[in-house]
C-alpha cells in the first residue's frame, strides 16, 4: 500500500471546446455575411488584393477572412483566386430568391450581442426583433425558401402530419390556418379533396408566398385569405371545422395563448378541432431552443403538454390530446 494521495481525475472539456469552436466559426460567418463576401466574389473580386482595393478594406483582414471562409468550406481557393461553392452560390447571394443571408444574420444576433444574460437578470424582452411583428417577414421568407425548393418532401411531411392527427379532408370542410407561413399543411388538405376550403392568415408578403404555393399545387380556387396581425384581425364565428396553429404559440405567453385559443374557440363550429403544433418543453429541438423563443418575443417559451392543457381548458376546450412530439389537438364541445 502506498501513502500517495490519489490524484483527482480531471474531466475532459470536449463540449465546452466544441462550443468555443462554434463561437469562432459564427464570428467568421457573420463577418462574411455583413461584408457580402459571396456577392463580391461572384462579381469578380476574386483575390484578396482586388477585393480590399475595390472596397477600401484592410488587405490583411480581407485575406484572413477569405482564407477562414475557405476553411469553413464556404469558399474555395485555387492559385490565390477565391471561388464560390455551390451552397454559397445558392443561399448566400443577395437578390436571389433562395437568399438566406438576412435571416441568418438575424439569427447570429438572436442573443442581442450579449443581452440575453441581461434579459434573464431583468426579465425584459424581446432583446432583438420581436418574432411576432411584421418586421420579421424577410426572416421568415428566408426560412421558408429551402423547404419550398423540396416540394415533394414538404408535401409528404404534411400528409403524414394529418394522418398522425387522424384528420381527414372531406367535402365541405372549412379550415383556418393561423400564422400560416407557406401553409403546406393546410394546403395539402385542399389538394386531398376539392371540397375543402382553406382560409390563410399571415402578413401580406407571407400570404403572397403561400398563394404562390397554392398555385403550384393547383388549389388556389379553394383558398381565401385574412391579411395582417392575428390579434387584430377577425376570425369570424362558428364557421371553421378545423383551426391550425403551427409553430406560433411558443412565441406567446400562456395568458396570450389562452386569449388566442378563446378567439379560435369562437371561430370553430361545435365539435370543431383546434390543432396546435409547437416546439415543446418535453422535446427540445436543436434548431428551436427554448431560450430563443424567450429572447425574440415578449412572452414566449417552449411549453409542455400540461401547460397547453391548462391554457386550452381555460379557453373552454375539451378532449385535449397529446398526439406526438409536437402536435396537440382539442375539441370545442
Ligand X SMILES: C[S@@+](CC[C@H](N)C(=O)[O-])C[C@H]1O[C@@H](n2cnc3c(N)ncnc32)[C@H](O)[C@@H]1O
Residues binding ligand X (CB under 6 A): 132, 140, 179-181, 202-203, 206, 229-231, 246-248
For 3, 194, 210, the CA distances from 277, given in Å and listed in that order, are 62, 25, 18
Cα 40 to Cα 241: distance, rounded to the nearest angstrom = 52
Cβ 206 to ligand X shortest distance, Å: 5
Residue placing its CB nearer to ligand X in the complex, 50 or 247: 247
Helix (H, G, I), strand (E, B) or coil at 295: helix
Report the nearest approach of ligand X to the CB of residue 196 (Å).
17
Minimum separation from the CB atom of position 204 to ligand X (A): 10
CA dist 270 and 248 (Å) reads 24
Contacts of 292 (CB under 8 A, 6+ apart): 110
- Show the cell assigned to 9: 481525475
Nearer to ligand X, 92 or 226 (CB): 226
Backbone torsions φ then ψ of 246, nearest 5 degrees: -105, 120
**H or E stretch including 243?**
strand 240-246
- The grid coordinates listed for 317 are 376546450
Residue whose CB is less far from ligand X, 50 or 262: 262
- Our CB check for ligand X shows the closer of 50 and 227 to be 227
Q: How far is the CB of 252 from ligand X (least distance, A)?
A: 9
Question: Distance between CA atoms of 99 and 291, rounded to whole angstroms?
Answer: 26
* Nearest to ligand X of 84, 268 (CB atom): 268
* DSSP character at residue 97: T
Residue 62 or 249: the one with the smaller Cβ distance to ligand X is 249
At its nearest, how many Å lie between ligand X and the CB of residue 230?
4
Pick the closer one to ligand X by CB: 34 or 204.
Answer: 204
For residue 270, the SS3 value is: strand
Q: Which is nearer to ligand X, 24 or 231 (CB)?
A: 231
Closest CA to 202 of 140, 277, 253: 140
**Exposure on the CB side of residue 83, measured as CA atoms within 13 A:** 7
**What three-state secondary structure class fits 75?**
strand
Cβ 128 to ligand X shortest distance, Å: 15
Q: How far is the CB of 32 from ligand X (least distance, A)?
A: 26
CA distance 137 to 143: 10
**Nearest distance from C-beta of residue 229 to ligand X, angstroms:** 4
Amino acid at each position: 500500500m502506498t501513502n500517495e494521495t490519489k490524484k483527482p481525475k480531471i474531466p475532459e472539456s470536449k463540449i465546452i471546446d466544441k462550443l468555443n469552436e462554434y463561437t469562432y466559426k459564427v464570428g467568421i460567418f457573420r463577418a462574411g455575411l455583413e461584408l457580402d463576401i459571396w456577392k463580391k466574389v461572384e462579381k469578380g473580386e476574386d483575390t484578396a488584393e482586388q477585393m480590399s482595393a475595390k472596397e477600401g478594406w484592410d488587405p490583411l483582414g480581407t485575406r484572413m477572412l477569405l482564407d477562414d471562409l475557405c476553411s469553413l468550406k464556404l469558399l474555395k481557393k485555387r492559385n490565390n483566386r477565391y471561388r464560390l461553392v455551390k451552397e454559397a452560390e445558392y443561399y448566400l447571394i443577395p437578390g436571389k430568391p433562395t437568399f438566406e443571408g438576412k435571416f441568418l444574420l438575424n439569427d447570429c444576433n438572436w442573443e442581442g450581442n450579449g443581452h440575453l444574460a441581461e434579459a434573464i437578470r431583468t426579465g425584459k424582452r424581446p432583446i432583438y426583433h420581436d418574432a411576432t411583428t411584421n418586421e420579421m417577414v424577410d426572416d421568415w421568407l428566408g426560412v421558408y425558401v429551402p423547404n419550398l425548393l423540396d416540394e415533394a418532401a414538404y408535401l409528404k411531411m404534411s400528409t403524414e402530419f394529418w394522418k398522425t392527427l387522424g384528420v381527414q379532408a372531406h367535402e365541405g370542410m372549412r379550415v383556418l390556418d393561423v400564422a400560416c407561413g407557406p401553409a403546406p399543411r393546410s394546403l395539402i388538405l385542399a389538394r386531398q379533396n376539392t371540397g375543402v376550403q382553406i382560409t390563410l392568415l399571415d402578413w401580406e408578403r407571407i400570404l403572397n408566398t403561400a398563394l404562390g404555393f397554392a398555385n403550384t399545387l393547383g388549389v388556389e380556387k379553394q383558398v381565401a385569405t385574412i391579411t395582417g396581425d392575428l390579434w387584430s384581425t377577425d376570425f369570424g364565428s362558428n364557421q371553421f371545422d378545423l383551426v391550425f396553429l403551427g409553430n406560433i404559440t411558443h412565441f406567446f405567453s400562456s395568458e396570450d395563448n389562452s386569449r388566442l385559443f378563446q378567439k379560435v374557440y369562437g371561430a370553430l363550429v361545435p365539435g370543431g378541432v383546434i390543432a396546435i403544433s409547437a416546439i415543446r418543453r418535453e422535446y427540445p429541438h436543436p434548431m428551436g431552443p427554448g431560450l430563443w423563443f424567450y429572447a425574440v418575443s415578449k412572452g414566449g417559451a417552449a411549453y409542455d403538454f400540461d401547460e397547453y392543457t391548462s391554457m386550452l381548458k381555460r379557453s373552454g376546450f375539451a378532449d385535449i390530446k397529446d398526439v406526438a412530439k409536437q402536435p396537440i389537438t382539442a375539441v370545442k364541445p
